[in-house]
Structure 1
């Protein structure tokens, strides 16, 4: 590696590979630092609405695709209450290896250093990264794409951060846990829970038929601080399956997920840029991020390529332009609206959450889809939120305006700031 590069990217996950590949495609001299080999298999699954991928021409990166996409928002226990809410839009699961190969292929020629960035010293002109091994790397700009837990990105302290936790199993079952060929986005039916459990933070089932007798079932919480423990999620999943006479006969893969939903936006005056989870790009309303990476990575890379063409610009000036491109005022305001909404939902009990989501998915498809993918312009987003408020029953409106006291659980006391 030369004495210095234009951009040094920290991390080896989807966010790091995405921005590295986009910069590389624009002729930027870029290198990466990752704690593990960048071609090592990713442990978690990544889902996305198929139309998000179609918009960027990457439909071929899906391993599975479902047209039968539904949710359940009844309490359970009767035919009427078990009625599914049909979404009418395809959902897909990434072929993780194909997505990884796609980005690595576009990052051909990039120098990857295996190690962990221990210290990042940003100067006005050059930023120096010292790895745990003692190796020192220098760049005009460092982009931290190593995840939300990075110690190298400053952000304001706005209280406890709420996490979306999930425990899932890919496996075989004594009988199909969901309808054949179906994808279940949210199953909030709670007839498997005790009265005491219904006073605890609500959880829902996220599930899909993978074909050949394989299914993925995952018990998921919305967002709580602290996150719902994995053993609680596992117990609830087992209870849910047991009530429907389903047993797990073979566990092929267990998935444990915990990521922040209301992480404050970073201090955008700092001389180290961030991308992905480190940049608070997880959607506060849905928990999704890969679609945002695919949409926003090219624009950020293009803005940086233009700025880097000016040799007089150093770390401080380049980072400032990067932050402006990544978080323009429009996106900041939308993010704040989403965080406000999440803060309200975190105070809802399971009955109110079921009512809320049933109302939300009764909106026109283009509106709820745009809301969940963060693709609505700010005026349209505000109009959709007002429409949702108008459609909501009185008790739900009261909660959206005033919030609720922490009567149900201590976890409900946190807000999204």
Structure 2
């Protein structure tokens, strides 16, 4: 098997937002980096978003397609969140994560089984081999029956067409009102309505978590019904977005350290991972520069504790009675802003995450409280 040059410092397998960020920042620190992806120059089609304050300063302010200063949620009633939320401009983000200092290879990697010894090379399906001091797997996570997932069906329409669905504001982060013709007792879904910065709005019916998530056909039916109830008719031939991805990483331990969603940086309660990956990139790069274990650097004890608490929250969401969902999120978004932020963002604030969960436990109705308690017992 031929060797593609001498050993490099780092081989990143997968060049989605997480892998591209890691390759970019590692190269900027002077490491010799190879990035491997089947389609490294293909643009990203998914809609990526984040709370603006989650994104590290080095990313800059020119990567946003749209920003909403105070998005709204609707559980039992309407609330305004005093926290800016943004939709990434994928092209601008790719430019910011420049790979001019990275040797990019278009190919599919064959990584060894978890039981293998420490990996020092990557075999490509075409027979080539890349030797590297460190190999990091950033290929994302594929849907699996064992993993909870998020599903959504959305359409992009003009702001004028979307206006009746938005009401008096310009965005819905979550709108749980029951006007989507879902059957009584069926798994719930909400409307996510977000401007895209070019005079258009993404209107998306979303199943936050399920095992499995709601089928896309059912979400499409609910979206059409919800929008019709608000006087919105979806134009024919518009842009459609279909979403399905796990909100958990598979249980894995082995020779190849992971990064991004594959490493568990996906928030199990929201499905967001891009901002967490961008924020964690320099932690991993620092470990690589110092020749330390990147997995240990990525997951200190505090981060593992926060992840366990959030997995407990995911278990509660999966067990929550559908009729209790709107009240549950109404109670969550009534929490003080710092407790909302502790649960939704950051990876090492154990006290803040626990305080948010305890505050929520004390304020939800007795039925939801029993669900939360059972989830805690199961995790324990």
Q: Structure 1, residues 53-77: CA drift from partner, whole Å, max 9, x if none?
A: 3655623211211124101113xxx
Distance 2:347 2:19 in 1: 22
Aligned to 1:147: 140
Q: Is 1:161 aligned with 2:147?
A: yes
Distance 2:74 2:80 in 1: 9
Q: Residue 5 of structure 2 contacts residue 130 of structure 2 at CA under 8 Å; is this kept in 1?
A: no
Distance 1:113 1:56 in 2: 26
Partner of 2:231: helix, strand, or coil? coil
Distance 1:187 1:8 in 2: 42
Q: Is 1:116 aligned with 2:119?
A: no
Q: Residue 148 of structure 1 contacts residue 279 of structure 1 at CA under 8 Å; is this kept in 2?
A: no
Aligned to 2:82: 88
Q: Residue 166 of structure 1 contacts residue 256 of structure 1 at CA under 8 Å; is this kept in 2?
A: yes
Aligned to 1:225: 211
Aligned to 2:357: 385
Shift of 1:179: 3.6
Q: Which structure 2 residues correspond to residues 234-273 of structure 1 after superposition, within 5 A?
A: 234-267=220-253, 270-273=254-257
Partner of 2:55: helix, strand, or coil? helix
Aligned to 2:16: 13
Distance 1:353 1:13 in 2: 33
Q: Which structure 2 residues correspond to residues 339-354 of structure 1 after superposition, within 5 A?
A: 339-354=311-326
Aligned to 2:261: 277
Deviates more, 1:127-136 or 1:54-63: 54-63
Distance 1:160 1:256 in 2: 21
Distance 2:113 2:150 in 1: 32
Distance 1:327 1:119 in 2: 22
Q: Residue 265 of structure 1 contacts residue 279 of structure 1 at CA under 8 Å; is this kept in 2?
A: no
Q: Is 1:192 aligned with 2:195?
A: no
2:92 to 98, 104, 129: 98
Shift of 1:305: 1.0
Partner of 1:198: helix, strand, or coil? coil
Distance 2:210 2:264 in 1: 17
Q: Residue 120 of structure 1 contacts residue 128 of structure 1 at CA under 8 Å; is this kept in 2?
A: no
1:24 to 27, 30, 51: 27
Partner of 1:346: helix, strand, or coil? helix
Distance 1:17 1:208 in 2: 26
Partner of 2:196: helix, strand, or coil? strand
Shift of 1:356: 0.9
Aligned to 2:270: 286
Distance 1:368 1:201 in 2: 24
Partner of 1:63: helix, strand, or coil? strand
Deviates more, 1:206-215 or 1:133-142: 206-215
Distance 1:180 1:130 in 2: 55
Q: Which structure 2 residues correspond to residues 124-135 of structure 1 after superposition, within 5 A?
A: 127-135=120-128
Distance 1:296 1:224 in 2: 27
* Cα 1:58/1:141, change in 2 over 3 Å: same
Q: Which structure 2 residues correspond to residues 258-407 of structure 1 after superposition, within 5 A?
A: 258-267=244-253, 270-307=254-291, 321-375=293-347, 377-402=349-374
Q: Residue 145 of structure 1 contacts residue 278 of structure 1 at CA under 8 Å; is this kept in 2?
A: yes
Distance 1:170 1:370 in 2: 32
TM-score, structure 2 normalization:
0.91
Q: Residue 178 of structure 1 contacts residue 208 of structure 1 at CA under 8 Å; is this kept in 2?
A: no
Q: Residue 171 of structure 1 contacts residue 250 of structure 1 at CA under 8 Å; is this kept in 2?
A: no
User: Which ranges in structure 1 are unaligned for 5 or more consecutive residues?
Assistant: 75-82, 151-156, 308-317, 405-414
Shift of 1:25: 1.4
* Cα 1:193/1:337, change in 2 over 3 Å: same
Q: Structure 1, residues 332-352: CA drift from partner, whole Å, max 9, x if none?
A: 111011011110111112321
Distance 2:305 2:209 in 1: 21
Deviates more, 1:15-24 or 1:117-126: 117-126
Q: Structure 1, residues 27-81: CA drift from partner, whole Å, max 9, x if none?
A: 1111011000x2321000111112223655623211211124101113xxxxxxx
Q: Structure 1, residues 209-266: CA drift from partner, whole Å, max 9, x if none?
A: 3356421111111211122211111111111111112111255422122121233453
Aligned to 1:409: none
The total of aligned residue pairs comes to 373
Partner of 2:71: helix, strand, or coil? strand
Q: Residue 150 of structure 2 contacts residue 246 of structure 2 at CA under 8 Å; is this kept in 1?
A: yes
